[in-house]
Chain A
């Protein structure tokens, strides 16, 4: 049997005063390993070795990108992890442009755009999807299963064919050429997150809601005071995933944005790629593109790291079941 490890777990009290046992970072039964009980040290070592090995594999491409971003043009693809010659000025070049390629990119502008669009997209979709997901999880009403099937169905049609009709809709309300289409449809929730959050809401025992209803709470209060806090990890996951999706999306900016200053990072890098390719007259300065890419990934890493730390704490202090 394993002892609880990780953040200190505290008992909490759920609605209705029902004591809830602490849910520490549990140690689920091992899948592949059967160790005699006294061998936790061996178990731990194996885990760490395994993790380190996997980390190397998972981390390698990113390390390669960072390494390439610090190399001069001639060495970018030489397959060495440690650059032979260091050229950190590549990062400056992202902003000021390669000398004979006329302009520098408004990279800071792109960063800012990606940031606030990402935040808008993430926050709106989390709130709206939570509301809708809760409805599917808690309420009993006619057409519920049919409508949920519709939710699922929206994920099944490849985006390529709805792209033009959706573009025409935005065009009708004169919002093409602006940044609104990149996030505003998230005001109306998104099937993926509705599905995800519904699963989490379904894990909440009905008694908690019954108790709240008996106390005379409205549905909204119940949603706000019970459902949301208990689903905080899932909400954070939703926000982080959507932020990442918005951050890395290229298609929408490609067809909706017209002005350089409106671009998001992927759209900007797509540009840079086209400019720096040798047949376009550039020298194949891929190291600048890669430096831009690395720069672009850093805010995401920060947000992810913060987000997942937050929902760890969320779990530990909530101490809830389900």
Chain B
């Protein structure tokens, strides 16, 4: 290239870079700093209609400028913000994480907030509150309540000549026999699962069914290798082994078109499995013609039980606007707000000819009002599931808040995976998990 041309090229490059950098400045001009009267929320990005309609109400109630960067709660993001001395004013996260952050002093107790805002904690379901209570103090306001019932494919039962009573989880030997009757294995491949116990995810449910809580109420003493927990795990694993063994079982399950119109229920690929309640809504949308029944999960004493989880609001230490945060939390989870959101959703869904199966709010009063005032019948099958979901809520239990909830969960998750992979017996795996959990909690409470 000739001299002057080269210089021109070089100069243009520099100029271009300059323009870009300038554009960068402009685009970055949205950096937010907290001023008085503004509320920075982390973990609650623009959500669906239920979230948005409530957020609108809460924003008005809080009276502050609300900044809600999109996206769910992310530990890295939160830690970075805390490290820089600039935590958000309010966070929205999985209830199971609250205990750990609370134990580390990252969240503030909500006692004064509850008093000053006169939040009626009685409206919230007790297990949900328990999950966010650590050392006797409440650190979060619960929102949403995942309910687990057994989803039954009536067609499969009919085909195999099995009655609903065969799926009574209080009778383990009979349940095992039922699973064997319902499962189909052809050419060495599983083509229909009888009963999926959903482990490792629902292990707390199986342990509780056998009469033991995997974690003490104060969140400090794991009971993972309690003989009853071990027996529960052994039974659940035996269910899987009787239905092809883990490899084939999981292989087949992974092929399910879970959210599609040819899902495992529509295609009669499974007899029954415990599942969270939001899936009924999915099914109603993707395959409304299925014949299903919702069964409660029963413990050995034939009492219904429900393993619940959900989200929560919490205020980080160093929040610059705890007042607005508190008002927001109260508003988001009040009965009137929930009701308004439910009415809104029912309307939207009806207009679009889409199903509406109610909302599971974690607020007992709201649940009742919502069902009575906004639920309209879909068809007998789904109506039954909605009613059942509402009914079992009062039988819920929770895994208590713990100062090392992540490590605790990892410990028993890994243990069960090892058992499924055939690397350890249930007893050895849970012994190991118990050791690891005890050590983790000890380290976290030093």
Contact = CB atoms under 8 A, between A and B. Distances in A.
B24 A168 contact: no
Interface of B: 13, 17, 20-21, 23-24, 27-28, 30-33, 45-52, 67, 69-72, 74, 76-77, 79-80, 83-86, 146, 257-262, 276, 278-279, 281-282, 285-286, 345, 348-349, 352, 354
B20 A284 contact: no
A280 interface: yes
B105 to A, nearest CB: 18
A176 interface: yes
Nearest to B68: A260
Given A167-B80, A258-B69, A274-B71, A280 B31 contact: no
A119 B17 CA distance: 9
Contacts of B349: 100
A88 interface: no
A102 B52 contact: yes
A164 B30 contact: no
A178 B278 CA distance: 38
Given A101-B49, A255-B77, A284 B282 contact: yes
Nearest to B78: A255
Contacts of A124: 17
A131 to B, nearest CB: 14
Given A102-B47, A258-B32, A260-B70, A176 B259 contact: no
A177 B52 contact: no
B46 A262 contact: no
B31 A100 contact: no
B227 to A, nearest CB: 34
Nearest to B282: A278
Contacts of B52: 102
For B13, B50, B80, B278, the residue with the greatest tally of chain A CB atoms inside 10 Å of its CB is B80
Contacts of B279: 278
A38 B46 CA distance: 67
B20 A119 contact: yes
B79 A164 contact: yes
Nearest to A103: B46
B88 to A, nearest CB: 9
Given A74-B257, A75-B261, A280-B47, 20 more contacts: A73-B286, A76-B260, A77-B259, A100-B345, A102-B46, A102-B49, A116-B20, A120-B20, A177-B28, A177-B32, A180-B28, A254-B71, A257-B69, A259-B31, A261-B30, A267-B71, A278-B282, A280-B72, A281-B49, A282-B48
A116 B76 contact: no
Contacts of B348: 100
A125 interface: no
A262 B71 CA distance: 13
B189 to A, nearest CB: 16
Interface in A261-306: 261-263, 267-268, 270-271, 274-275, 278-284, 286
Q: Is the interface of A mostly helix, strand, loop or mixed?
A: helix
A262 B24 CA distance: 10
Nearest to B72: A274
Contacts of A99: 352
Contacts of A282: 48
A260 to B, nearest CB: 5
B286 A274 contact: no
Contacts of B259: 73-74, 76-77, 278, 283-284, 286
A120 B21 contact: yes
A77 to B, nearest CB: 5
21 contacts: A74-B261, A78-B262, A101-B49, A116-B20, A120-B20, A124-B17, A171-B86, A177-B31, A179-B24, A183-B24, A254-B76, A258-B31, A268-B70, A274-B72, A275-B45, A275-B47, A275-B70, A279-B276, A281-B48, A281-B278, A283-B282
